[in-house]
């Protein structure tokens, strides 16, 4: 059996310190419930002494999420009685409560932040642990700024607080200053002494990402004996953030033979958790972010798509399904090569194309890809249909398909505070449809108008707008996710007019649903 690594999630405490990311009580509860599904071992639910709102949120999470013995609920205190009482009084409702306290050990913190001597700070820490132990058996002590502390003073502190009853020692790289080799060595030395002192005490690390090394430092610590890691979802947190839970966990899983450890995380819940945190906190995930970025499993270069189609392991080290995605995404763009386009056509049933036919269709594909950026399955039908009509060929099957796709012809959207409204003109086959509706906002009005025409029971799950270029002619990109019949569909569109991009993205999603649900002829 491999060594277990405890996963402590601090999205609701360190993560919530991000400016503008504050959540209300119900949102915090929703995130905590999702973290439980993800099977983290410990949730740090907040900093209850900071406000009554935070206190109540921690208490609700302890009561409603910490009501089983498979999860520990904690919250942060400074090493002062009032903070410790606040933590105790909010986490005590959990089946397994833990008090977490923090006090600095570096010269900078001891002398400049507190203006005290090292002995005075040591005594404060020991007294705080002794007090916390009168309330609960489980107490975590964080030696803030540990990576910039004098080693012997750091160890003297750890030894003293363990003797006072601390059950977890957390070693933070508070300002993201550490480098993996050095941090690994620090953890090795501390672990060696700690396990000789008391082998029941867990050694934990908490790394910040100021130099982009939070994940590497966390992994180096694990390799050198750390038992527990503190992370956040999507790596959010103070300044440049914390070690990203999904990166640490997936590195341990993917390089199992190297690390020889395991966690209890249900990796299939990673994407759901990432999306929930991102949307509730309003913090976008960088598109190329490892594991949870939009492009983490999307392959667009022709060379890569060709390699993947020959053998997935050529360019894929993690199956997207392991983190809860449906499958790898081969995005058809102007850079996709013939192999990827041929493969997409074959999947749609066009597997009898001769070489000259395919070349002609491929040329049509390139032309459209230059204009549209990303080409969808329904676009491929239209390209094939164009090919047939150009060559005076009559294929009823293709016509049947392309007659069912929707095309935006025109739109008008009015934004105001009383009646935001939209009108759309949409073509389907030879038919032209028009609709006008009022909504709660311009996009709601626009989507209601489109929905009135297409008449499918579609639920909009996610709508994201971003700019992909700069200046007056900046392109707006809209990405959305919809649900139809329990299936999720993602679609995108770009245009200088973001309202038009919103309409096109929605229609792309509708056409993807149509492709999947049409009865083959």
Which residues touch 210 (CB under 8 Å, ≥6 apart)?
175, 176, 177, 239, 240
Say whether residue 9 binds Zn ion (CB under 5 A).
no
The option from Zn ion, ligand KIV, none interacting with 140 (CB < 5 to 8 A, set by class) reads none
Say whether residue 173 binds Zn ion (CB under 5 A).
no
The option from Zn ion, ligand KIV, none interacting with 142 (CB < 5 to 8 A, set by class) reads ligand KIV
Span of 6-14, 33-41, 102-110, 258-266 interacting with Zn ion by CB under 5 A:
6-14
The option from Zn ion, ligand KIV, none interacting with 76 (CB < 5 to 8 A, set by class) reads ligand KIV
| HSE value, Cβ hemisphere, 13 Å, CA-based, for 186 | 26
Provide, rounded to whole angstroms, the least separation between the CB of residue 40 and ligand KIV. Answer: 16
Minimum CB distance to Zn ion smaller for 173 or for 385 = 173
Say whether residue 142 binds ligand KIV (CB under 6 A).
yes
Question: Contact letters (x/-) for Zn ion, 13-32, by CB under 5 A?
Answer: -x------------------
Span of 166-174, 373-381, 443-451, 504-512 interacting with ligand KIV by CB under 6 A:
166-174
Span of 10-18, 314-322, 416-424, 453-461 interacting with Zn ion by CB under 5 A:
10-18
Please answer whether residues 350 and 392 qualify as being in contact, where contact means their C-beta atoms are separated by less than 8 angstroms.
Answer: no
Question: Contact letters (x/-) for ligand KIV, 1-30, by CB under 6 A?
Answer: -------------x----------------
Please answer whether residues 69 and 96 qualify as being in contact, where contact means their C-beta atoms are separated by less than 8 angstroms.
Answer: yes
CA distance 131 to 84: 8
CA distance 48 to 57: 8
Say if residue 242 carries a ligand binding annotation: yes
Q: Are strands 421-428 and 406-414 parallel, antiparallel or unpaired?
A: antiparallel
Provide, rounded to whole angstroms, the least separation between the CB of residue 284 and ligand KIV. Answer: 23
Provide, rounded to whole angstroms, the least separation between the CB of residue 108 and ligand KIV. Answer: 13
Tokens of 411: 């739109």
Closest C-alpha among 520, 467, 469, 464 to residue 491? 464
The option from Zn ion, ligand KIV, none interacting with 15 (CB < 5 to 8 A, set by class) reads none
Closest C-alpha among 460, 448, 389 to residue 423? 448
Say if residue 403 carries a ligand binding annotation: no
* R_g of the chain, CA atoms, integer Å: 28
Say if residue 391 carries a ligand binding annotation: no
Name the one residue in this structure whose structure tokens are 């081969």. Answer: 330
Residue 126 Cα to chain centre, angstroms:
38
Tokens of 32: 């905590």
Q: Residues 61 to 80: which contact ligand KIV by CB under 6 A?
A: 76
Closest C-alpha among 189, 15, 128, 133 to residue 142? 128
CA distance 204 to 141: 10
- Choose which of 109, 206, 275, 500 interacts with ligand KIV (CB under 6 A): 206
Number of residues that bind ligand KIV (CB under 6 A): 10
- Choose which of 102, 171, 221, 276 interacts with ligand KIV (CB under 6 A): 102
Span of 9-17, 114-122, 344-352, 405-413 interacting with Zn ion by CB under 5 A:
9-17
- Choose which of 86, 105, 149, 174 interacts with ligand KIV (CB under 6 A): 174
Minimum CB distance to ligand KIV smaller for 243 or for 369 = 243
Helix (H, G, I), strand (E, B) or coil at 305: helix
Please answer whether residues 219 and 180 qualify as being in contact, where contact means their C-beta atoms are separated by less than 8 angstroms.
Answer: yes
In Å, what is the CA distance from 344 to each residue of 329, 362, 376, 384?
A: 12, 11, 9, 12
What is the 3-class SS of 246-312, one letter each residue?
Answer: HHHHHHHHHCHHHHCEECCCCHHHHHHHHHHHHHHHCCCCCCCCCCCCCCCCEECCHHHHHHHHHCH
**Hey, which residues does 435 pair with through a beta bridge?**
424
Say if residue 208 carries a ligand binding annotation: yes
CA distance 375 to 513: 15
Q: Residues 345 to 384: which contact ligand KIV by CB under 6 A?
A: none
Provide, rounded to whole angstroms, the least separation between the CB of residue 283 and ligand KIV. Answer: 18
Say whether residue 172 binds ligand KIV (CB under 6 A).
yes
Q: Are strands 168-173 and 139-144 parallel, antiparallel or unpaired?
A: parallel
Minimum CB distance to ligand KIV smaller for 21 or for 334 = 21
Residues of this chain that interact with Zn ion (CB under 5 A) are: 14
Q: Which residues are annotated as a binding site?
A: 14, 206, 208, 242
Q: Which residues are annotated as a binding site for Mn(2+)?
A: 14, 206, 208, 242
Residues of this chain that interact with ligand KIV (CB under 6 A) are: 14, 76, 102, 142, 144, 170, 172, 174, 206, 208
């Amino acid at each position: 059996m491999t060594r277990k690594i405890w996963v402590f999630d601090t999205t609701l405490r360190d993560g919530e310190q991000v400016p503008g990311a504050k959540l209300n009580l119900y949102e915090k509860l929703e995130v905590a419930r999702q973290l439980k599904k993800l099977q983290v071992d410990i949730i740090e639910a907040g900093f209850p002494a900071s406000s009554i709102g935070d206190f109540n949120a921690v208490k609700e999470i302890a009561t409603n999420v910490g009501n089983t013995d498979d999860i520990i609920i904690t919250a942060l205190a400074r090493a002062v009685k009032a903070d410790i009482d606040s933590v105790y009084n909010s986490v005590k409702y959990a089946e397994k409560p833990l008090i977490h306290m923090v006090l600095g050990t570096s010269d900078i913190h001891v002398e400049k932040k507190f203006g005290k001597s090292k002995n005075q700070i040591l005594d404060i820490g020991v007294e705080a642990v002794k007090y916390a132990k009168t309330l609960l058996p489980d107490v975590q002590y964080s030696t803030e700024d540990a990576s910039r502390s004098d080693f012997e003073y750091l160890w003297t502190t750890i030894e003293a607080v363990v003797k006072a009853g601390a059950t977890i020692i957390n070693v933070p790289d508070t300002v993201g200053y550490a480098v993996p080799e050095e941090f690994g060595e620090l953890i090795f030395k501390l672990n060696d002494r700690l396990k000789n002192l008391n082998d029941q005490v867990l050694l934990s690390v908490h790394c910040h990402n100021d130099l982009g090394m939070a994940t590497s430092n966390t992994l180096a610590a694990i390799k050198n004996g750390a038992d527990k890691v503190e992370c956040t979802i999507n790596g959010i947190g103070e300044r440049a953030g914390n070690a990203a839970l999904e990166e640490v966990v997936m590195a341990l899983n993917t390089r199992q033979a190297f690390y020889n450890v395991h966690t209890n995380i249900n990796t299939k819940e990673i994407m759901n958790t990432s999306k929930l945190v991102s949307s509730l906190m309003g913090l976008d995930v960088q598109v190329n972010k490892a594991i949870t970025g939009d492009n983490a499993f999307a392959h667009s270069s022709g060379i890569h798509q060709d390699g993947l189609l020959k053998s997935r392991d050529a360019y894929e080290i993690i199956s997207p399904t392991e983190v809860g995605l449906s499958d790898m995404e081969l995005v058809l763009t102007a850079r996709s090569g013939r192999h990827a386009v041929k493969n997409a056509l074959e999947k749609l049933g066009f597997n009898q194309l001769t070489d000259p036919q395919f070349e002609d269709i491929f040329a049509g594909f390139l032309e459209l890809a230059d204009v549209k950026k990303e080409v969808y399955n329904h676009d491929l039908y239209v390209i094939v249909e164009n090919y047939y009509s150009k060559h005076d060929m009559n294929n009823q099957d293709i016509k049947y398909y392309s007659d069912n796709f929707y095309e935006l012809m025109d739109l008008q959207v009015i934004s105001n505070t009383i009646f935001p409204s939209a009108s759309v003109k949409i073509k389907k086959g030879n038919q032209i449809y028009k609709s006008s509706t009022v909504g709660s906002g311009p996009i709601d009005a626009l989507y209601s108008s489109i929905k009135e025409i297409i008449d499918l029971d579609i639920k909009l799950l996610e709508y994201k707008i971003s700019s992909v270029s700069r200046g007056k002619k900046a392109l707006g990109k809209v990405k959305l996710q919809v649900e139809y019949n329990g299936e999720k569909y993602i679609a995108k569109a770009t245009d200088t007019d973001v309202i038009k991009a919103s309409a096109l993205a929605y229609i792309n999603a509708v056409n993807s649903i149509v492709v999947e649900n049409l009865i083959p002829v």
